Chain A
Amino acid sequence: MELDGKIIGIISNDYEEKDYSGKIVEEIITYKISEALKMVKLDEAIKNELFDNLSSRDKNKVILASHLHDKEIRLVNFSKGMIKKDLEYFSTLFKRIANYGRKIILVDKNMEMFINCVDHIYIIEDEKIVYETKNIFDNILVKYIDVPKIVEFINNSSKNGIRLDYYTELDELLKAIYRIKS
């Protein structure tokens, strides 16, 4: 399936999460392990840990670290176990990686992972593209997934007759509300 974009967001149940049960981390990350761990913000000590014993957050970091040098990096439910700070960090990292000519495909259940990050979103069902958009504010997306909270707020405001621009940062939204209310 040919997908456009440098960092692609996919909403789909067709993809399986990677599972490295029974393996230790240094068996999973086979190339430049120290640098890879550093890049995904993991401590060196994790090298000898069994994948099964890791938190879902660290499992996803290990999976990313093992694919950092791939031409196409596909991550399924990468945001599982991640906290807000992680989403911001990895969003920046993905953009850096994409700038080196690599493609990143994020198949995810959490649209907060997509905001300020992906440049193309696909809905895939039974291995077929059923919808695609470049706009995270696209109202059609609501049929398939919960949109990011800031998008939900702006869309709800619009239903109340208040047209807000497509802000993706709280500070910008705040300033806009302040202008309208004052």
Chain B
Amino acid sequence: MNINESKNYCILSNSINKVLLDKFAYYPTIGKMNYSDLLSKLEFFSSKRVVFNETFYYLKNSEKKEILDLLNKQNIKYIIITSNVEEVLLANYLIVFDKENIVVEGETKEVLKEEKLLKRLGFGLPFVVDLSLSLEFYDILDKIYYDTSSLVGELWN
């Protein structure tokens, strides 16, 4: 698998097992870890890329943001492996796996245009994107929003 060293990735998969994880074995991988331990570990991280194997499942959104801000400051790139479609918005490049096979990949916002495919595979869309798309269809919005605050601001202000 070709990883572009300048990009942050999200791997969306319905089967996060050894076969999938082996594809990223070249990079240091972090699994289950609480927020404070994770923060300490990443403060003095020697590698230029890190893989989060379902690590974000255990974190609150504010904690995920802190972690990613810390990585960005240190110019460390990341790969988030998750089954949760809401987390795809945390990276600018998305690869979607159905079992061991890549079904679609590209810039996250482009891949999210594959609404039918993502819903057929059972992942669905992030809530804010799903709602935006529907509101765009009914001419209430004229573009897609990727965070709730912006969507709420545009709708009600």
Contact = CB atoms under 8 A, between A and B. Distances in A.
A45 interface: no
Contacts of B85: 83-84
Contact of A177 (B122, B126, B140): B140
Interface string A127-166: 0000000000000000001101110110011001110000
A77 B32 CA distance: 12
Contacts of A109: 57-58
B105 interface: no
Given A55-B15, A83-B85, A153 B140 contact: no
A121 B123 CA distance: 26
A126 to B, nearest CB: 15
Contacts of B151: 153
A71 interface: no
A177 B151 CA distance: 12
Interface residues of B, number: 36
B17 A85 contact: no
Contacts of A174: 131, 134-135, 138
Residue picked from A81, A85, A156, A157, most chain B C-beta under 10 Å: A81
Tell me if A's interface is mostly helix, strand, loop or mixed. helix
B61 A146 contact: yes
Given A109-B58, A178-B138, A178-B140, A82 B131 contact: no
B60 interface: yes
A56 B54 contact: yes
B73 to A, nearest CB: 23
A1 interface: no
Nearest to A154: B152
Contacts of B127: 148-150, 153, 170
A146 B127 CA distance: 14
B108 interface: no
B152 A153 contact: yes
Interface string B120-157: 01111011101100110010100000001101110111
Residue picked from B85, B121, B131, B135, most chain A C-beta under 10 Å: B131
Q: Give the 7 A-B residue pairs with the shortest CB-CB distance, closest first.
A: A85-B122, A149-B127, A84-B124, A55-B17, A160-B156, A156-B152, A55-B15
Interface of A: 53-58, 77, 80-86, 109-110, 112, 145-146, 148-150, 152-153, 156-157, 160-162, 170, 173-174, 177-178, 181
Given A80-B83, A146-B61, 19 more contacts: A53-B17, A54-B17, A55-B15, A55-B20, A80-B57, A82-B83, A84-B85, A110-B84, A149-B86, A152-B148, A153-B152, A157-B156, A160-B152, A161-B156, A162-B155, A170-B130, A177-B155, A178-B138, A181-B155
